[in-house]
Structures are given as structure tokens and as C-alpha cells.
A and B are shown apart, each in its own frame.
Chain A
């Protein structure tokens, strides 16, 4: 919402400075977005006098002028304008001044060898209009030295505020003046307007057939003379970015901006029969005044006559009946439209207009008639002729009912916002804002004014008081932790998220935050079925690449690895803790910690020949286990088995599970997935399902007692030949079962296939740790153990101990 300082002062009697007013506007909730003072831009430009103009010695179209300037004496200026001539008063721009229309700062120069100081400017160079055929000719009445800003009315600061959608009343300058007056910035002037009775009955009648327009006031005015509006009015409109069109249109725009009251003026001679306000039947066409044409949806509120739709009620008028330069008889509309209907139609048709902006926020329902009087008076003043005659008012419907009473205790402001404002002060503020108060009882009965459709309850009343008093008076009271014992603020899930993230990063993964939406193709690759794709598709996506809620964060990480690789940063190791979606219900949105490693584990290293190896599933398994453990999962008790999702390599992937409950999966990505995503390097991945981790059962924090064995442990190595399909962990598990008391630990330290091992077999080398309890082991004890281990491995795994 824009207005100028002098426009504001039409309604506000004030001696406050622009700065004070601007500061107060922000303080009362009418936030200043910009204050533009054009007099500063135009300060260097003043009236000068051309004493002589001679032809340039080396150029036919240029003149060398001698110009008497106010501050720089006589200056020589080379000028190409055809109207540059001796005896002309011009606007002079000195060297060093900034020319807004050219976006340059003037420098002393020579044109075709002749020195030129400053310039005489055109309207376009001064951003006044597009006129550029010649330089500005100043009326002779202005003395040399008169500031250009004074002549062209460029000394009126423009104020722009960011209006919150609840304050329709301040979509008019008068409403802003009222707020400022209430906040002690001056005195609000009353709206002066006399009711005009009219001298004849209008031939045009109005019928309301749509409840979206409950009240319509019309009037015919005959024999007026349209034309350009006066300079003051044009300057107001131009200052706030509106183009002056004609006196009639300018008056409606002025009243709209001044009082938040949209009006529409028709050429009465172009209306056929009566005006009917009705819902569009759908499919009707409108050539609108904004130079666009619209096909109306059924249900839009139309202003129509016998010939069809004249305009879209409350939004935009049509060209067929608009007032033009030669219009002499007019019909004026001042109507009230339902905000929700206006919003819907405006949105559906994509029309923005100053009228829609106001109607959809809600204009003052009681101002429909007064606006008609204001308009009538201005038309008579600006367009009236000797023969002008004004009709009686044509009224259909009535103002909507808006009055309400709010029970309010003045103490409530202290209770809700903590500001102690005296009851009298509160009363003064509310009265100044137009509220009426019955304070005969302890509880006040407050009636908000007709223009405050946003005030419903006592909290709204308190807000009025608080904002006018000023939130800088709000005391500050710290919120302290009132429990005696410190407690964790985190939920179990958040604590898992934090721990898993730290564990992954500690293992070298870089945490990313990537989009929650991916392409449909990727969603399908990563496990979304038809139902999920349709339930999780955005109806208005940013792009087709971001249109389905992701079933997994892996595709966004894979794409990130590809982008990094393309930039020369391969081998990315990335992770993310974020949501994945299997449906739209709250419990179908999962929190998953996942990651990928791509390419090689490390760069080549001089000492570690294995450093540059390709990433493999064991890297991903370690990542998954680290994240699980950090998140509090009993990882040591978990089983690792096959059964990862289809986007993993079937033979090189697995799940980590507690019984049926899968808490993680890991592995190489399926080569088909890499192919489909056009990935040229190996990728391993893992996903940890944080919500599937069971809550720890142990109640206390105590650890079990540490038992230290007095005797040294002994390690004993074994190698078994088994079928190559057999998983090595099965061999170890079998071996360790040979003597559960004696064997305290075991590892697989080698897997071998090749020379010395038959085709289809492999050698699994184990190291078992034996922990004697009472006495040291004898050779016999060890012999017995070797036999027990080889027997059980033979029995369970068909394994043969290597010699």
C-alpha cells in the first residue's frame, strides 16, 4: 500500500516529521517497506535560461548554447534537441548530477570538439514521461533557479507500507491517518461530504440476483464533461504508480486509494436496460479494462445488462461499457461484494486488481452510500457543466449485518500481554480507533466500528491497545526451567537421529540435506508401488524431477555423488538422516539414517596399497552397524541375513534384523539401478530404520560386574575346507559351539580359494580364543578341543580340517 505524505496530510492534521511518522507506522503494525523522497533525486535540477543558441561548427543538428544557470553562472552546452533556442527557459542538469532516465552521472565533456558543461534535459531523461522529442520547455512564469521538483510536484515523499491481510481498513489512506491519530501523531480530520438528493429518477434500475452482492448503490449523472483530471490528482496517482486516464477514472481510483472503497463508473449510454448482478452461467466472455479477455467460470459474480456481462463484480470492469474521453452520461456503481467469492473468482481467473485486493480483505459495509456522495461531489467539481444533473440514488439490498459486541475487562491486557495500561488510556485508544465502549459495568461492552471486520474477541481488543501503546513498552520476563532436575529435551527419536548422524560423520560420511521429493521414475526404482506413487504424487510439483515424496533418500544422495563426480570430486561418501514416505498417514512417514559410498574408499596412498580399493559391501555394513550401535540398537545380538530391498545387488546385500524386525539394510546397489541412473562408478549403500530399533529394556544405567580371568587366554588357529556357498559365519558359529565354556571369542581371518583347494570349495581360517578358568591348559586339553572343533564343523558344515 503506497501513499504520499501530502495525501496523508489531507486527513491527518500533524506537525510530525516524515521520520517520526514512518517510525510510528512500523511501531503500530503498519510496517514501512520504503520511504522514497523524490525531492532528493530532483534536487540538482533547476530552471535555467538559454541566452543564445548557435549552430555547432562541425555538426548540422547540434547547437552550441549559452545558458544562464542559477548556481554555475553562464555555461556552454552542446545540445541536439530541435527545440533548443535562445530565450527558452529549460531544466538544467549540472555536471556531477545523476540523470535517472539515463542512469548516468554527468561529466564535463566535449562534443565534436566543443566543450559542453551539463545538459538541458527532456521529460524522459527525468523519468517524467516517455517524451523525448525535445528538451523540457519551462513556463516563463518560473524564475531561473526554481527547483524542478516544485514545478512538477516532485516534492511529495512516497511511503509504502506492507499491509497485513487483516487490515483492510488501512488499504485506504484515511484508515492509516486514523491509526496514526490514535497513536498520537496528529488529529484525524472528518470526512466532509454532503448527501446529494438528486433531481430525477435514474432510468437504470438495479436487480440483485446473487447473494455475493448483498448491497448495491447506483446513480446516474448526466451532461458531464470528461477530460484530464487536475494536476494535483494526477500527481497523487502517478506518485503511487497509477497512470492517470481521465477525470472520471482518476476520481474512482482516488476514492479507492483514499478510503479503501472501490467504485466503478459506466458510460450510461452504453448500458442496455437495467443492471442485473447475477452469477455467471459459465463460458461468458468479458473484454476487460486491463486489456485482457476472460472466459468466466460458472458462479463468478457479474454485473450484467440486457446485452450481457458488463464487468466482473468487484474485480474488473469491461470495455464495452467503460467511461471514455467523450462520455457525457454516466452511471456509478458503489457495491459490496462477499470477500470469499471475490477471492475465489480472482484466484481462478488470475486477475489482480486494486478492487479485488480490497474486496477480498473486506471493505467497510457502511461506506457504500457515503462513497457515492464523495464521488458525486468530485464529479460535479471536476467534470460538471451548466447542464449537469444528478439522479436520485438507486439502491438494491442493504449493508450486511456487521455489528457485534465484545465483552472485555481492561485488566485483560495485563493478563495476556503483561502490559499495564490504564483503563482510561485504553478507552482513549479504542475511541480514537472508532470503537464504542459501554463501560457502565466492570466488564466493558465494546462495539468495533464497521470498518474493522477483523476484530472479534477480547484478544483482538488487547492487540489494538498493545500495538498503539507500542510493543517497545512490553516488559521482558525470562522463561526459566522450573523443574528441579535437569532433563533431556530430546525425544528418543531425536536422540537416535543425533547419535546416528554423529556416528556416520565420524566414519567419514558427509551429512547432506536433500529434497524430500524425487522423480516418479526414481520413486519406482527405489521401491514405491503404483498405489504409493499415486498417493505420494504432488499435484503441483516444482518440476517432474521433484514430484513424488521419496520412498528412500538414496536416489538424491546418488545423484549428488554423480554431480560431485562431474565436478571432479569423485569418491563421495554422503549420508542423510531424514524422512522417507510409504504413505501419507503420520505413521507411514519413516525416519531413516542412510548413506552411500562411491568409487574408491580413499585416494591412492604411498604406503597403503589397499587404500585405493573400490568401496564394497563391508564398508556399508560397518556404516550401518556403527549407526545402529550409536542409535542404541543391540547390534551385537542382531542377525545379518539376506533379504534387502530389490534395489540392492541380490547376492551382495543383506539386512540386519532382530528376529522379524529389520533394523537396517546394506549392500552394493543393484547394477540395473546404476545402469538406469547412468552411474559409472560403484556405489554401496545402507539404510537404518531408526524407528524400528526397540526401546532399551534395561531400566537402570548400571553395567554388569567386570569379571577378570586370572589366567592368560590362548589363541588357536584352524582352517576348514567347506562348500564355497556356505557362509563363513556359519563355520565360525559351529566351531565356537564346540566348547562354550572354554571358547571365549573367535574371528575369521582368512578366506582362500585357489591352488590346493578343490573347485567349488573354499578354505575358511578361524582363530579361536580359549580362556582357561581354573588351571592352565595342558597339551591334552588342546588336543581334545581341536578334535571337538573339527568334529562339530564336520557335522554341521561338512567341513574338513586342513592339515
Chain B
């Protein structure tokens, strides 16, 4: 028995002295392995008397368990120590940049169009499309522009050579000066596809490039417009006001944005109205959209032109103005984007300056809420 106790002391110190996992394993083999010392002692049990075998056997089993436990805890301690030593050598410079990735951006015009599609889509409008190169009939005549109207003059419209494949006003090619030409195509298309008693409702929006021969601080020869058209049996100017009010308030995310209607004139609507939204001028000269608080002057800026579709325009598209009526309005996309996102200069939209695109562009993966842009 003394032997066993002495052995325990000896083995314990050997285990403790094993200062790496390999040494510890050598100890384990030398003690508990097939030829290990405890194993060897176990083998001696066979030659003992039953009495002696019982007590010695028990003592040896206890010793075996104790030593196994000691080895296990020493192993854990050594592993921990080894891990700590490894970690101490494994330091990387976290200040260094990660591997490069490029981040692209979405142009503010595209962003604005997507927001508008969302807002008008929620009101039940559908997108319509039309060509950039239009003809005189779709761009002017069908829209009730009388001959000699200033907008038809050379300085406003970009003209292209006549198309020999077409005749008359349809051969006179030009770059559309407004997206209102899409209204015409849209209404004609609807009437062409209409069954016997079909036709309106027509409830569409369209977007696109428009062109006018003007290039200065506040004009570019190409810009973007949005157009909205709603024709049905009982669409009134009150719907126009409701639609526009809801639209600008949703777009600018201002519940109480003041909206003002002023009578105005566009050949393709009757009555026509210009629409202003309210703002205040801040002491530093900048502007802030919204309702003036008491003491501030409520100022107004024009934001779009609108009206009830002129009966002549409906007629030109084959729609009976005695049965149907509707509203239309058009606005500039860049202007909306400039106001909403604080972009100061129209011309910069088309300069493709990467500094501008990075600054005013939108992350393609973290798109703001389409309706509010926030």
C-alpha cells in the first residue's frame, strides 16, 4: 500500500513536471499505457490472494482514476497555455484596409423616378412609355398647339430631318419637348385596343428625357419630365388637386406642405393651373419647404403645370369629350430631385463627375424607402 501511495506522489509530480502536451502524453503512456506502470501493477493482481487482490485492486483502481484525472486537468492547462502562447504571436495590424471592393451608385434622377413610381403606383397609376424622337403631330398638333405657338419656334425645339417614310406632320421629326406626347400615344393605344364599348379609364404616368434648345445656368438641352394622366367619366379638377397634394406631401415627406393652385394656360388643358408649394426663406438665404410658422413669410415656388385635358386633345385621340374627361400634369424630375435632395445646380446632373455621383448618388443595396427617400 505504501508503494501505491509513493507511486501516486511520484506520478503526480511527473505529471506536474510535464510542461508540454507531448511530455504529458509520454507520462500517460508510461503510466496508463499497455506497458505502463499502473497497468503492470494491475497485472500483478492475478497472483494475489483473493483478500489481497480485493484491497490492492480497489486501491489501484482509485489510483488509476486519480492519475487519469490529473493527466486530463494537466492536459487542459497545457492546452490553454499553448493557445495563449499561440495567440500572443498571432497579432495582425487591424489598421490596414480590407481587400478592395467598388461601390457603385444610383443617379438621383433614377432614384427620383423610382420614388415617383412607388407613390403613383400606390394610387393605381401604371407606367406608359413613348419615344424620345417624336413627330410634330404627337408633340404639338395633337396637344392643341395652334400653329405659330412660341413653343414651336426654332429656338425651343430640336428638329430632325423629315422622315421620307412618313407623310405630313408625322414626317416632321423632332425631339420631344415634353413628355405630354406620351399622353397622346397612350390614349391612342388605349382606343386602338378598346373593344366596342371599351376605352378609358386611362390612369398612367410616364417619365423620360425631354429636350429644348436652351443651355444656361438654369436650363440644359436635355432634362427629364414626369407626366400624369387620368381620364374617366367623372374625374374632376378636385381629383387633380387631391392627387397632386397627396403626391407632393408624400414625395417631400411633409404632411402639411402647403399647396396652391393658380389659374394658368397650357394649350392642352382647359382649365389650366400652375401649382406652387410653400417654403420659407431661412436667415442664411437658404430655403426650406413647408408651412411657415407664425411670423415667417409663406413663400411659394412653382413646381408644375396641370389642368383638365382639353376636349380637342381627347378628340384628337379618338375619345369622346362629351363622355370622358380627365386631368393631366407634368413636372421636371431634376427640379424635384434638387428640392428634395438639396442639389444646387441643374447642369451637374449630366456632367458624370465621379465626385458628384459619389456624393449625390444612392447606394444600390441600401436604398432609401422609395416613398420618402429616408
Identify the A interface with B (CB < 8 A): 26-29, 31, 164-167, 339-340, 343-344, 347, 360, 415-419, 457, 459-460, 462-463, 466-467, 471-472, 474-483, 487-491, 493-494, 498, 501-502, 504-517, 534-542, 546, 549, 556-557, 560, 563-564, 567, 569, 572-575, 577-579, 581, 584-586, 589, 602-603, 605-608, 611
Choose among B107, B175, B350 the residue with the greatest number of A CB atoms under 10 Å from its CB: B107
Contact A505 B105 (CB under 8 A): yes
* Bound CA span A477–B244, Å: 10
* Bound CA span A478–B245, Å: 8
Q: What sequence of 0s and 1s flags, for each residue 284-307 of chain B, a beta carbon within 8 Å of any chain A beta carbon?
A: 000000000000000000000000
Is B262 among interface residues, defined by CB-CB distance under 8 A? yes
Contact B354 A564 (CB under 8 A): yes
Which of chain B's residues have a CB closer than 8 A to the CB of A489? 117-118, 120-121, 125-127, 205
Instruction: Determine which of B163, B211, B243 lies in contact with A535 in the assembled complex, contact meaning CB atoms within 8 Å.
Output: B163
Contact B211 A557 (CB under 8 A): no
* Bound CA span A31–B158, Å: 29
* Bound CA span A292–B63, Å: 125
* Bound CA span A603–B273, Å: 54
* Bound CA span A597–B298, Å: 48
Look across to chain B and name the residue whose beta carbon is closest to the beta carbon of A586.
B131
Contact B211 A478 (CB under 8 A): no
Contact A564 B308 (CB under 8 A): no
Choose among B159, B173, B209, B270 the residue with the greatest number of A CB atoms under 10 Å from its CB: B270
Interface residues of B in 157-215 (CB under 8 A from A): 158-161, 163, 165, 173, 175, 205, 209, 211, 213, 215
Contact B213 A540 (CB under 8 A): yes
Can you show 10 pairs from A to B with CB atoms below 8 A apart? Answer: A463-B272, A479-B246, A480-B124, A494-B129, A498-B114, A516-B209, A540-B159, A556-B352, A586-B130, A608-B99
Contact B131 A589 (CB under 8 A): yes
Give A601 Cβ to nearest chain B Cβ, in Å. 8
Which of chain A's residues have a CB closer than 8 A to the CB of B230? 479
Contact B241 A569 (CB under 8 A): no
* Bound CA span A494–B204, Å: 14
Q: What sequence of 0s and 1s flags, for each residue 214-235 of chain B, a beta carbon within 8 Å of any chain A beta carbon?
A: 0100000110100000100010
Contact A164 B264 (CB under 8 A): yes
Interface residues of B in 103-130 (CB under 8 A from A): 103-107, 109-110, 114, 117-118, 120-130
Give A760 Cβ to nearest chain B Cβ, in Å. 37
Known contacts A477-B239, A510-B361, A605-B97: A541-B158 contact under CB 8 Å = yes
Is B38 among interface residues, defined by CB-CB distance under 8 A? no
Give A428 Cβ to nearest chain B Cβ, in Å. 18
Which of chain A's residues have a CB closer than 8 A to the CB of B83? none
Look across to chain B and name the residue whose beta carbon is closest to the beta carbon of A572.
B354
Contact B104 A563 (CB under 8 A): no
* Bound CA span A417–B153, Å: 32
Interface residues of B in 306-326 (CB under 8 A from A): 308, 310-311, 325
* Bound CA span A471–B244, Å: 14
* Bound CA span A353–B45, Å: 132
Which of chain A's residues have a CB closer than 8 A to the CB of B123? 478-481
Look across to chain B and name the residue whose beta carbon is closest to the beta carbon of A608.
B99
* Bound CA span A611–B98, Å: 12
Contact A491 B354 (CB under 8 A): no
* Bound CA span A167–B263, Å: 12
Is B353 among interface residues, defined by CB-CB distance under 8 A? yes
Is B283 among interface residues, defined by CB-CB distance under 8 A? no
Is B101 among interface residues, defined by CB-CB distance under 8 A? yes
Which of chain A's residues have a CB closer than 8 A to the CB of B234? 415
* Bound CA span A556–B238, Å: 44
* Bound CA span A133–B186, Å: 68
Look across to chain B and name the residue whose beta carbon is closest to the beta carbon of A344.
B148
Closest 5 CB pairs of A and B: A508-B102, A418-B238, A489-B121, A29-B263, A560-B352
